[in-house]
């Protein structure tokens, strides 16, 4: 019988790590350095602090309910989560399944446990969508006995912005959330403008240049850089953009409506006007790669600048919205306080290698003006089943195949609640739910608050979730990439490139939700993203 630390080291070597990489990942330090540490530091630096211990306990953990194994810590994760003090903001990156959210949850509990008695400023744990916030609450609830959940607030950035604006203005803000209506209103604002200033282009200019940089005047906009925008604008065109933007904002003021980004912008402004109004002692940000710059300005204003202020976890390879940021440019300096996790504890090596292949050759940023890679990214365990790719002649045939697949998993002992089904479009989600229910299988829509049975949702809704078995459906040429979500190459080559990468990342996110079993299906022609696997 191997000691736990030895078993863990062998497990990492078997996964392909070098001796040096394994020592660094496990936090193994020399004897002289350990002797110089305090008792707590020495304990955290020791590989014996491994939980779960060894490959057998790791597999046991993977076989237990998801809400239990989501809070397990590897020593490299533990050293990050339980460090006593960071002198400023911290960034934790890593591929899907490397435990970034686990680290965030433990960090929140650690900081909450150190709050002074009677503190009126809790620890904020935040993310960008409700389903992720729900999962964070569940994970935190599993640890509640250790530190007390009362010192931690979990909410989305949008909900936080809404609350701040409501308190500042004394009434509930009216939020414009219907994306189709927003698109129509931008088309109205752009009416009469010369090509290529369409409603979509105008919206992108506002969200990715003007609002992202916090530009407040025409003069500021005329002199501002436009990073990431391939569509070149003359001075005259910029003047037209500013005038059209004025029309859009004037109409919103008349109706009293604000988009979520406007809401965050207003909330950040209210906090900046009251410098003593910071709401939180510490802020933990999960899925950081999908926040807009204006949301980052809100979070920066919500916590005092100082030790242990911001703890940011994310992976730009999983970015599903077109928000590229440089944290340091937003007053969040993580230089010297960045950590990367490389060992995946969720997905088998077979599924992981296949999913990583979807992003092969793509250039991805690191959220701070650098380049990120998946070099060194490996799985902690191997499985017996590689991903299954299946094409069908028709949509109906694909739905019938989904029923057969799901029934087969359930017959093998997989709990229906541990099965996920993802699709790019909402209509495919609804079709899958209807088909599964007609076949006598319990299924729920992830957009509903009540959950139970097989969980079905769009690829966006799958962000941050995990399942033993995952079916990714309708990965057809007509759906992935989704045509309306990708800027035409002749309109803006740079935007086209970024949009296409985002669609790839979305498929990668959906596929890496799987722990042990993954199927990918389509009807008609397969997505071009699958071409390397079908030749």
Residue 318, φ and ψ in degrees, nearest 5: -110, 20
CATH superfamily of 385-534: P-loop containing nucleotide triphosphate hydrolases (3.40.50.300)
- pLDDT tens per residue across all 535 residues of the chain: 333 344 445 555 555 555 555 555 444 444 343 344 333 233 223 322 234 445 555 555 555 555 554 567 777 788 999 999 999 999 999 999 899 999 999 999 999 999 998 888 999 999 988 888 988 988 888 776 544 467 899 999 999 999 999 999 999 999 998 888 999 999 999 988 876 788 888 998 999 999 999 999 999 999 999 987 878 899 999 999 999 999 999 989 999 999 999 999 999 999 988 866 678 999 999 999 999 999 999 999 999 999 999 999 999 999 988 777 889 989 999 999 999 999 888 899 999 999 999 999 888 888 888 888 888 899 888 887 899 999 999 999 999 999 999 999 999 999 999 999 999 999 999 999 999 999 999 999 998 877 789 999 999 999 888 999 999 999 999 999 999 899 888 888 888 998 999 999 999 999 999 999 999 999 999 999 999 999 7
For residue 75, give the nearest of 96, 30, 106 by alpha carbon: 106
| Residue ranges in 281-440 assigned as alpha helix (H) | 293-301, 349-357, 395-411, 426-438
Kindly write down the DSSP assignment for every residue of 51-105, as one continuous string.
Answer: BS-HHHHHHHHHTS-HHHHTT-B-HHHHHHHT-S--SS-EEEEESTTSSHHHHHH
> Coil, strand or helix: which one is 388?
strand
Write down the pLDDT at residue 180. 86
Q: Please identify which residue in the block is written with the tokens 């004394």.
A: 170
pLDDT of amino acid 143: 75
Decide if 73 contacts 101 (C-beta within 8 A).
no
Give the closest residue to 129 by CA, choosing from 265, 316, 320: 320
Q: Tokens 């990708």 correspond to what residue?
A: 486
Per-residue DSSP letters for 469-532?
EEEE---BTTTTTTGGGS--TTT-HHHHHHHHHHHHHHHHHHHTTEEEEEEEEEESSBPGGGHH
Report how far residue 405's alpha carbon sits from residue 411's, in angstroms, rounded to the nearest whole number: 10
3-state secondary structure of 292: coil
pLDDT at 1: 37
pLDDT for position 52:
44
Rounded to an integer, what distance in angstroms lies between the CA atom of residue 371 and that of residue 365? 4
Measured between alpha carbons, how far is 316 from 291 in angstroms, rounded to an integer? Answer: 11
Domain boundaries, the chain: 1-58, 178-258, 385-534
pLDDT at 467: 94
pLDDT (0 to 100) of residue 371? 84
Beta-bridged to residue 471, according to DSSP, are 421, 519
Residue 20 has a pLDDT of 53
| pLDDT computed for residue 9 by the predictor | 53
pLDDT (0 to 100) of residue 60:
57
Exposure string of 10-39, with b = 16+ CB inside 10 Å and e = fewer, is: ebbeebebeeebbbebbbbbeeeeeeeeee
Q: In whole angstroms, how far apart are CA 78 and each of 46, 137, 160?
A: 11, 20, 29
Q: Would you say 122 and 152 are in contact if contact means Cβ atoms under 8 Å apart?
A: yes
With contact defined as beta carbons under 8 Å apart, do 308 and 356 qualify?
Answer: no
């Amino acid at each position: 019988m191997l000691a736990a630390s030895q078993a863990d080291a062998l497990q990492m070597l078997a996964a392909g790590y070098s001796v040096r990489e394994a020592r660094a990942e496990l936090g193994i330090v020399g004897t002289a350095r350990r002797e110089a540490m305090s008792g707590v530091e020495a304990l955290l630096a020791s590989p014996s602090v491994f939980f779960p211990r060894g490959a057998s306990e790791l597999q046991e953990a993977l076989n237990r309910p998801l809400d239990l194994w989501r809070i397990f810590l590897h020593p490299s994760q533990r050293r990050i989560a339980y460090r006593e003090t960071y002198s400023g903001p911290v960034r934790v990156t890593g591929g899907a399944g490397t435990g970034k959210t686990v680290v965030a949850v433990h960090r929140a509990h650690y900081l909450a446990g150190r709050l002074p008695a009677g503190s009126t400023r809790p620890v904020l744990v935040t993310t960008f969508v409700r389903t992720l916030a729900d999962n964070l609450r569940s994970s935190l609830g599993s640890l509640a006995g250790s530190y007390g959940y009362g010192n931690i607030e979990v909410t989305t950035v949008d909900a936080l912005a809404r609350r701040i604006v409501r308190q500042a203005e004394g009434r509930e803000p009216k939020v414009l959330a219907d994306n189709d209506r927003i698109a129509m209103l931008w088309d109205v604002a752009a009416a009469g403008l010369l090509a290529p200033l369409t409603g979509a282009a105008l919206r992108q200019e506002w969200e990715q240049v003007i609002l992202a940089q916090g530009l407040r005047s025409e003069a500021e906009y005329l002199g501002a850089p436009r990073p990431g925008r391939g569509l070149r604008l003359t001075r005259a065109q910029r003047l037209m953009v500013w005038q059209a933007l004025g029309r859009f904002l004037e109409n919103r003021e008349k109706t009293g409506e604000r988009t979520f980004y406007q809401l965050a912008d207003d909330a950040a402004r209210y906090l900046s006007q009251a410098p003593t109004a910071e709401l939180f002692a510490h802020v933990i940000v999960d899925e950081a790669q999908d926040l807009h710059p204006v949301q980052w300005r809100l979070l920066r204003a919500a916590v005092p600048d100082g030790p242990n202020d911001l703890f940011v976890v994310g992976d730009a390879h999983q970015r599903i919205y077109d928000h590229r940021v440089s944290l340091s440019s937003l007053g969040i300096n993580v230089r010297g306080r960045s950590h990367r996790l490389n060992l995946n504890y969720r997905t088998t090596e077979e599924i992981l290698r296949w999913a990583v292949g979807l992003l092969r050759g793509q250039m991805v940023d690191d959220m701070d003006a650098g380049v990120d890679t998946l070099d060194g990214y490996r799985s902690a365990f191997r499985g017996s089943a590689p991903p299954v790719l299946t094409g069908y002649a028709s949509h109906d045939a694909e739905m019938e195949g989904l029923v057969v697949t799901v029934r087969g998993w359930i017959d093998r002992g997989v709990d229906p609640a541990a099965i996920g089904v993802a699709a790019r479009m909402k209509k495919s989600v609804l079709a899958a739910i209807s088909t599964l229910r007609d076949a006598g299988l319990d299924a729920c829509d992830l957009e509903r608050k009540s959950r139970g049975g097989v969980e079905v949702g769009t690829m966006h809704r799958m962000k941050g979730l995990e399942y033993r078995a995952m079916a990714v459906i309708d990965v057809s040429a007509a759906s992935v990439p989704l045509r309306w979500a990708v800027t035409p190459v002749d309109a803006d080559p740079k935007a086209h490139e970024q949009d296409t990468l985002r669609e790839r990342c979305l498929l990668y996110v959906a596929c890496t939700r799987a722990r042990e079993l993954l199927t990918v299906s389509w009807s008609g022609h397969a997505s071009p993203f699958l071409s390397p696997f079908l030749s």
